[in-house]
Amino acid sequence: FQTILQKHSLCICVVSCEASLSVCPRLPRICQTDAATSFLRAARSGNLDKALDHIKNGIDINTANQNGLNGLHLASKEGHVKMVLELLHNGIVLESITKKGNTALHIAALAGQEQVVTELVNYGANVNAQSQKGFTPLYMAAQENHLEVVKFLLENGANQSIPTEDGFTPLAVALQQGHENVVSLLINYGTKGKVRLPALHIAARNDDTRTAAVLLQNDPNPDVLSKVSVHTGFTPLHIAAHYENLNVAQLLLNRGANVNFTPKNGITPLHIASRRGNVIMVRLLLDRGATIEAKTKDELTPLHCAARNGHVRIIEILLDQGAPIQAKTKNGLSPIHMAAQGDHMDCVRQLLQYNADIDDITLDHLTPLHVAAHCGHHRMAKVLLDKGAKPNTRALNGFTPLHIACKKNHMRVMDLLLKHGASLEAVTESGLTPLHVSSFMGHLNIVKILLQKGASPHHRPHTLVPGRLSWLPTAHQG
């Protein structure tokens, strides 16, 4: 569920924690024995003594779970530095990949585990390893706003010009996310390294109209691209929109800048301005002919960007200008899903006033209420329920918002859903009730409340995982 939300949002542009490598991939050895499961659990929890016992007893140190995550991946994600070092010392493959291709360095960078990143790189991890979709550790750190990890990777040879398959670079994703410090670091590092940012881009960043005017006299192309931005396609107007520099933006437009310049990733200046929430900039771009229904590579519109970032005034302007309120991303996320994810209640109310569908579904049949439940947004869930959202809508896998709230341990959302008629006995495609889900996740407080509310501890799922659901009777007994 989380990947669905993250993968298709321009404004958050999160990559899946599972991407695949193209550099010397080393596939994990998947094993489902009890010893292997115990070993992986020890690695994830940082239980060094237990993990070493398994190693002494001959466990295959490269064993992995069904997703291809081995002990090094799990320990790296959780930041267990000593565990990481012991596993490496005992021969675990440094560049081993998950089923979807991530190395431990990808995973540590995404999680912001600076110490682990340092140790892995010092041990020889490839800082420029690319996944199936082209994601690098630097890209992952940039999109999650892990400034120190970004800095360390750059200092250790990470190449910020490597694009993803969709044409996104670390700079592109940082711009989309609004990670100001990361953006500044990448741009400034670009001016110091082998790849230089053109002067017009720098003038646009600084709102330096005098310099920009002189540069345009010498080179009248306002849409000049830099080597840093050649893969993203960001022009000076994109940069001006990001930094909300109206003076330079007007100058560039007056000199013929293409207001709808569309790079490979599809991000236009209007997308960026809508995410930033600058009313004057948005009006300026619209007045100069910006395409209001422009879509990125992932089919996000400017309205998606405004909704995700909580800009009610921008939403109103875009809708009044005819922006498509039901526009969908590749996975079917609409602006109201984005607003729900960002916990922007005023944006949801505004969208509903313009007749947005409160129970709109993604390709996986996730409603805005599913999104609010997943994120633990209690007040957002209340707004949606008070406005008539259906509490028992099932996703394609059968999960209701209550299943999701129980899985994520969001007690207030769970209680709210129950008060609005959420079914305790709703089952997923596998026959799991909310009680099954909360029990499996080990959320004892949720389990107790569900039992007190009348949930049956005797309902059996369609497919039992050995040893996984055996604690239900115990939970029932307290």
pLDDT digits (tens, 9 = 90+) for 325-344: 999 999 999 999 999 999 99
Close Cβ partners of 390 (under 8 Å, ≥ 6 residues apart)? 359, 367, 369
The torsion angle over the Cα atoms of residues 180, 186, 187 and 193, rounded to 10 degrees, is 160
Q: What is the pLDDT of residues 369-381, one digit of tens each?
A: 999 999 999 999 9
Q: Is the pLDDT of residue 215 over 90?
A: no
DSSP state of 29: E
Distance CA 270, CA 478 (A): 56
Task: For the full predicted model, state whether its pTM sits above 0.85.
Answer: no
For residue 32, what are its two tokens? Answer: 């489902």
Q: What is the pLDDT of residues 354-404, one digit of tens each?
A: 999 999 999 999 999 999 999 999 999 999 999 999 999 999 999 999 999
Q: What is the pLDDT of residues 301-323, one digit of tens each?
A: 999 999 999 999 999 999 999 99
How far is Cα of residue 114 from the mean position of the Cα atoms in its chain? Answer: 19
Confidence (pLDDT) at 467? 41
For residue 148, what are its two tokens? Answer: 């120190």
Please answer whether residues 368 and 384 qualify as being in contact, where contact means their C-beta atoms are separated by less than 8 angstroms: yes
Type and span of the H or E element at 218: helix 209-218
| Domains in the chain, CATH or no CATH each | 12-157 (1.25.40.20), 384-478 (1.25.40.20)
Close Cβ partners of 162 (under 8 Å, ≥ 6 residues apart)? 128, 130, 134, 136, 138, 139, 169
User: Given the structure tokens 């991000």, which residue do they identify?
Assistant: 267
